[in-house]
Structure 1
Amino acid sequence: MELRYGMNPHQAAAPTAPVNPDRRPVRVLHGQPSFINMLDALNGWQLVREASRSLGRPAAASFKHVSPAGAAVSGPVDEVTAELYGVDGDSVGTLTSAYLRARDADPKSSYGDFAALSHPVDTELAELLTSVVCDGVIAPGYAPGTVERLGRKKNGRFLVMEADETFAPPTYEARDVFGLRLTQDRDQLPLTAALLDRVVGGALPATAVDDLLLGMAVLRYTQSNSVCYVRGGTTLGIGAGQQSRVDCTRLAGAKVDTWWLRRHPAVRALTFRPGIRRQDRINWQIRFIEGDLTPDESRRLAQVLSVPADQLDPDQRAQWRRRLASLAFVSDGALPFRDNVDHAHRHGVGYIAEPGGSIRSDEVEDACREHGITLARTGLRLFHH
């Protein structure tokens, strides 16, 4: 397999070969991937395959820069998502619903994503993929005609990759860094509900178990430190790659607030002039929600709206946020301080899964009790770099 280039365009890439010459995990059906495209595709495929196997439903992920912007299993598509993408939320297929939910988790970050699907792409999903800004897709198969349809996207540069769902990876994995080859066992411990048996603060309902399992699958393929908030089989906020865990918690929590405030009547009432593109509408909605517009942004927002916007005051925002509850929160590493719990509580978290074992685990447990949060100690760290 020939790559276009390495991590950056000025880095040439050598031909990519499978570890086992007799078995390829993926093959390129259309286009020519870059180094990062391959990383996104391989990580995305592993995530959706694991999530689908754990939860027994089709799964999708929207990958950007080797971490998911969003991930979801199939489920209801709400009015906001359906309106944004011009679909009938009551009639879309299960795989399409999974991708719509994954992409809408953080639609600003999903711009130019790499889509990963656990099941073969059908004509409905292929049609949707042609209408969004997306760089490529990986799935275990494609309905007749869909590869050709997708291949015309981006002037023929859209990437279509097929994963072998029967492929079993090697027991060991290696990486070359600065002249050293680092080798380790592959992280392949199954993610099952048994990991959530050790709980504090009450039993976990089945819906919370599913959300926590999805969160664990997501973080297994997200750059650490990482946390995620999940509700109803969809990630509402993912925090990745921060040196401080509480920074991950706060960043992901801000994404949760943005997702929820996009459903506020004042945001839904924003009326854009004809011809304003979908991504521009998304970006302006988010800037309106964030509320710290520069003078130039305020002027430009007024120009793209056909009706002046009603502002959201702090009380309205706070009242709306309080309506979001029963979220699941997963951390790839032990929570080192109770501040993570305090911040998670502010965003409606009712259930937490984390490895446990920090020197302040008692303080973390006390914070969960104070906030009425059920805490599951998995004993499993899920770092990914």
Structure 2
Amino acid sequence: MPDLAPVKRALLSVSDKTGLVDLGKALSGQGVELLSTGGTAKALRDAGLEVKDVSEVTGFPEMMDGRVKTLHPVVHGGLLALRDDAGHVASMNEHNIGGIDLVVVNLYPFEETVAKGADYDTVIENIDIGGPAMIRSAAKNHGFVNVIVDTEDYATVIEELNAYQGHTTYKLRQRLAQTAYARTAAYDTAVSTWMAAQVDGAPRRRTFGGTLAQTLRYGENPHQQAAFYTDGSNRPGVATAQQHQGKELSYNNINDTDAAFELVSEFAPSDGPACAIIKHANPCGVATGKTMVDAYTRAFDCDRTSAFGGIIALNQTLDGETAEAISGIFTEVVIAPGADADAIEIFGKKKNLRLLTTDGLADPAIAQLTARQVSGGWLVQDKDVGRISRDDLKVVTKRAPSEQELSDLLFAWTVAKHVKSNAIIYVKDGATVGVGAGQMSRVDSTRIAARKAQDMAEAMGLPAPLTQGSVVASDAFFPFADGLVTAAEAGATALIQPGGSMRDEEVIAAADAAGLAMVFTNMRHFRH
């Protein structure tokens, strides 16, 4: 197989016309014959280029609403024939098959069609068949044939054709083939994932795909290589956000920013300002407020120490007053649906702070898939979109929660979904006042959260920790009464937990003895 292979004939069929005319002109300037179909052919002709319709080459017109046009031996024979195989060359001559040395295809916009919420039949019509077939044929025969699936590769191919008098190198063709196979794999992944949602049960086969968005400096630690891939879902968040300033996001930045934004997206802007501060993928402060700066300040007061170097997410537009308050400490990333001119100007003085805007919140009700690799396989599940309302709660103690307690309990439960297990969250007046996360013992999480609240009270000069008069959420049931007793000693007056322990009666009795109100959700929020 040669290192340098000539490009004498190219087939172009693209849905994304970006850069098409410039590519066509460059190819024509090299004396390359252009074959094309439909809208692509029209765009090239409108630019004054000479183009031959594929139907002229195959001898068959496009049929079945364009479903059948390139699925023909003359096309695939021209792609798959080994130019240095006498038998292949003889077959080409016998059947009047001309070689195709370059295929330029970007596929029907399936992912975009699904993202727009199109109906079933429209989605089906946007599944490309001829395109992937040509891509795979060309990629298999990359010893002789070039295949382009991304507009970003147009310039590279043109540069090689200019540098090597109308030829390309094997190294480039090999790289293009790898990109092509990854593209069809990701495309088929999008199709199969969408189809999986239309049928019952877990599919027998599951694939995952993505497009490189950023090569990262390193992973969680400097000795680990890492990259960031997007899935094409266009879900508002870190993957689709506009970065206004600051250096590139790191692996940990992206992970923590996603955690922060997913949490703050639980709070609709119509319900008022909300702020979440994240450190190492766990919230160290979450609050609502009358204004955005009020929400930020109340979240910050939960754990001022941990907030240093953290990630801040807001559910409404960042304003100048809030930006000024945030500028008081070092913050890695701020993410919000938008930012006004004052905020952008204020943050512009903080060169190490990254500001991201998303033009919307993530929909917490959409059950995307989450996947985690384990040795030899993958664990796949729906994203935790579980929510409860007041009507879902079961009061199990003699005393029912007051209206304020009930409101805080629901707030605490929402936050609990985003805290690593074992999770304990103390809340008072719509703000976290203590967070215990990731402990092997639930009672230890309860103690740690209370101790952090005590430390903050001392640092702020308060007469008592804010856990006095708070409520507590536990992401899973209390297996023993000790955790509940610890919460009561910290000043909690009401608790929310799933229930379901063999010792529920013992825990309920302890709550009654302490005069606490407690409700069961019959829902768990483990997060590992």
| Shared fold (TM-score, shorter chain, > 0.5) | yes
1:368-383 correspondence runs (5 A) = 368-383=511-526
Paired residues of 1:321 and 1:347 also in contact (CA < 8 A) = no
Q: Quick check: 372-381 or 186-195, which moved more?
A: 186-195
Residue 109 of structure 1 aligns to a residue whose secondary structure is helix
**Does 2:283 correspond to 1:68?**
yes
Contact 1:220 1:384 in 2 (8 A): yes
Partner of 1:120: 317
Give the drift of 1:132: 1.4
Alignment equivalent of 1:173, drawn from 358, 370, 378: 370
Structure 1 SS opposite 2:341: coil
1:215-234 pair list within 5 angstroms: 215-234=412-431
Contact 1:118 1:139 in 2 (8 A): yes
Deviation at 1:218, TM superposition (A): 1.3
Where in structure 2 are the equivalents of 1:249-260 lying within 5 Å? 249-260=446-457
Matched, 1:106 2:322: no
| Matches for 1:196-235 after TM superposition, within 5 Å | 196-235=393-432
User: Within 2, Cα distance between the matches of 1:323 and 1:128?
Assistant: 22
CA distance in 1, matches of 2:329, 2:251: 23
1:42 Cα deviation after fit: 1.2
The alignment status of 1:40 with 2:252, answered yes or no, reads: no
Q: Equivalent of 1:58, from 245, 262, 273?
A: 273
What is the CA–CA distance in structure 2 between the aligned matches of 1:71 and 1:149, rounded to whole Å?
A: 23
Structure 1 distance, partners of 2:235, 2:520, is: 38
What SS does structure 1 have at the residue aligned with 2:392?
A: helix
Please point out which of 357, 362, 366 is paired with 1:162.
357
Change over 3 Å in CA distance of 1:148–1:18 after alignment to 2: farther
- Report the secondary structure of 1:135's partner residue: strand
For 1:209 and 1:362, the matched residues in 2 are separated by 22
Instruction: Output the CA distance in 2 between the equivalents of 1:247 and 1:213.
Output: 23
Q: How far, CA to CA, are the matches of 2:471 and 2:414 in structure 1? A: 13
* 1:226 Cα deviation after fit: 0.7
1:12 equivalenced with 2:225 (yes/no): yes
Structure 2 match to 1:343: 486
- 1:200 is paired with a residue whose SS is coil
Query: By how many angstroms is 1:108 displaced?
Result: 1.2
Q: How much has 1:214 moved relative to structure 2?
A: 1.5
Query: How far apart are the structure 2 equivalents of 1:253 and 1:324?
Result: 7
* Alpha-carbon spacing, 1:19–1:195, altered in 2? closer, same or farther (3 Å): farther
Asked if 1:334 corresponds to 2:477, the answer is yes
1:176 Cα shift?
2.5
> Does the aligned pair in 1 maintain the 2:276–2:283 contact within 8 Å?
yes
TM-score, normalised via structure 2 length = 0.55
SS at match of 1:138: strand
Q: Partner of 1:349: helix, strand, or coil?
A: coil
Spell out the pairing of 1:18-37 with structure 2 (5 A cutoff): 18-20=231-233, 25-26=237-238, 27-29=241-243, 30-31=245-246, 32-37=248-253
Q: Say if 2:476 and 2:526, in contact at 8 Å, map to a contact too.
A: yes
Q: Give the superposition deviation at 1:23.
A: 5.2
2:453 and 2:478 map into 1 onto residues whose CA distance is 19
Distance 1:167 1:251, change over 3 A: closer
Evaluate the alpha carbon distance shift between residue 191 and residue 142 of structure 1 in structure 2; reply closer, same or farther with a 3 A threshold: farther
Q: Deviations over 1:301-359 (max 9, x none)?
A: xxxxxxxxxxxxxxxxxxx5599642101100100000011111111111000000011
**TM-score, with length taken from structure 1:** 0.75
Comparing 160-169 and 213-222, the one that deviates more = 160-169
In angstroms, what is the RMSD of aligned CA positions? 2.2
**Worse-matched range after superposition: 349-358 or 158-167:** 158-167
Return the match for 2:392 from 181, 188, 195. 195
Q: Distance in 2 between matches of 1:202 and 1:363?
A: 16
Give the Cα separation in 2 of the matches to 1:111 and 1:350. Answer: 30
Structure-1 separation of matches of 2:390 and 2:273: 18
1:132 aligns with 2:348: no
Structure with the larger RCO, 1 or 2 (CA within 8 Å, 6+ apart): 1
Aligned counterpart, 1:90? none
2:265–2:362: 8 Å Cα contact kept in structure 1?
no
Shift of 1:145: 4.6
Q: Relative to 1, partners in 2 of residues 1:57 and 1:322: Cα closer, same or farther, differing over 3 Å?
A: closer
Amino acid corresponding to residue 224 of structure 2 in structure 1: Q
Q: In 2, distance between residues paired with 1:177 and 1:355?
A: 28
Q: Which moved more, 1:203-212 or 1:353-362?
A: 203-212
* Alpha-carbon distance, 1:196 to partner: 2.6
The higher radius of gyration belongs to 2
Asked whether the 8 Å contact 1:4–1:33 carries over to 2, the reply is no
